[in-house]
């Protein structure tokens, strides 16, 4: 007689049950040790290989019957080998291709394949970095500083009067001339420009438009040739003013007058436009008692001292 073995399923005898010991092989649990490569529960590598081989054979049969039916049946085309050879050639000829092989328990990995091909050439482009707020603020500050450093006569403001527009246009017109005269005769360009603005009213006075005389230079010669000077008030010769062929000639005559006449002593002041303005008034360049203050006011308003730099 064959003996039957029984075992207690619970430690308490009063609640125990008798059960025949199973003779079947135990079913492996999910907590079993890591399986070897190719034995994953999620995917059997051998089955996948067989299915791929079968699929390629069927595909090869279909292609043969559709396009290569004229070949003799004894000639067999190894479609599977051709496919594998093609894939290997493709992978090894591509750039930026990295092979990643994972060993161990494939069931615990989020990946379902042991072999993965990563093509970096197909990866999405890196998004551009977000603009830095600090850099944007610095750029705005730099732009504001550049606008502030721009000469006033180069900026057209909404609050400019007709006189301001006229004066700014005059400064833009003779800016280079004033700098050249300063380099040649050591007279501040700010003083020459301020005098030209004040004496010619921004180049619109009758003396400037008719005689090209922008600095109110008079003619003291008693034997003038025709076209040398003209009278603007009465027959007194002290009211005759010089006539110039161009505005540039007027600027050059003014530079020579200040550099060689009684005004040459003012060169000791260098580029101090305030000292120059007061010196011109003291030496009698104009009879207006506010002549020096008017020159200084014009230089400050339009920042003509920038021309001396």
156 and 246 part of one domain: yes
178 and 293 part of one domain: yes
Checking if the pLDDT of 162 tops 90, the result is: yes
108 and 49 part of one domain: yes
* Integer CA distances (angstroms), 10 to 7, 13, 14, 19, 26, in order: 9, 8, 9, 11, 20
What's the pLDDT band for 97 if we cut at 50, 70, 90?
Answer: low
213 and 287 part of one domain: yes
| Residue labelled with tokens 């550099």 | 259
- 151-173 mean pLDDT: 91
Give dist(CA 189, CA 304) in Å, integer.
Answer: 8
CATH label of the domain that carries residue 298: 1.10.530.10
Contacts of 260 (CB under 8 A, 6+ apart): none
70 and 193 part of one domain: no
Nearest to 40 by CA among 100, 101, 99, 104: 104
91 and 170 part of one domain: no
Establish if 197 belongs to a structural domain: yes
Do 275 and 269 touch, CB atoms closer than 8 A?
yes
What's the pLDDT band for 292 if we cut at 50, 70, 90?
Answer: very high
Domain enclosing residue 203, as ranges: 150-308
- The per-residue pLDDT for 23 is 54
């Amino acid at each position: 007689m064959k003996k039957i073995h029984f075992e207690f399923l619970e430690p308490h005898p009063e609640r125990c049950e008798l059960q025949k010991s199973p003779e079947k092989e135990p079913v492996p649990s999910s907590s079993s040790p890591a399986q070897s490569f190719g034995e994953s529960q999620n995917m059997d590598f051998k089955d996948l290989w067989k299915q791929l081989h079968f699929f390629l054979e069927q595909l090869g049969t279909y292609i043969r019957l559709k396009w290569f039916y004229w070949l003799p049946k004894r000639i067999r085309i190894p479609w599977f080998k051709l496919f594998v050879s093609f894939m290997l050639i493709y992978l090894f000829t591509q750039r930026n291709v990295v092979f990643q092989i994972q060993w161990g328990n494939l069931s615990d990995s989020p990946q379902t394949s042991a072999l993965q091909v990563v093509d970096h050439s197909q990866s999405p482009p890196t998004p551009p970095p977000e603009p830095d707020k600090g850099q944007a603020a610095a750029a705005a500050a730099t732009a504001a500083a550049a606008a502030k450093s721009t000469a006033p006569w180069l900026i057209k403001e909404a609050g400019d009067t007709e006189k301001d527009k006229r004066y700014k246009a005059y400064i833009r017109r003779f800016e280079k001339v004033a700098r050249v005269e300063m380099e040649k005769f050591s007279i501040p360009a700010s003083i020459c420009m301020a005098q030209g603005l004040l004496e010619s009213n921004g180049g619109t006075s009758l003396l400037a438009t008719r005689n090209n005389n922008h600095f109110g230079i008079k003619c003291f010669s008693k034997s003038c040739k025709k076209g040398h000077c003209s009278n603007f008030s009465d027959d007194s010769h002290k009211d005759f003013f010089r006539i110039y062929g161009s505005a540039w000639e007027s600027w050059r005559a003014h530079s020579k007058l200040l550099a060689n006449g009684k005004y040459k002593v003012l060169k000791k002041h260098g580029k101090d436009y305030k000292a120059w303005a007061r010196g011109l008034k003291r030496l009698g360049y104009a009879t207006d008692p506010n002549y020096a203050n008017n020159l200084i006011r014009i230089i400050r308003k339009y920042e003509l001292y920038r021309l001396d730099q």
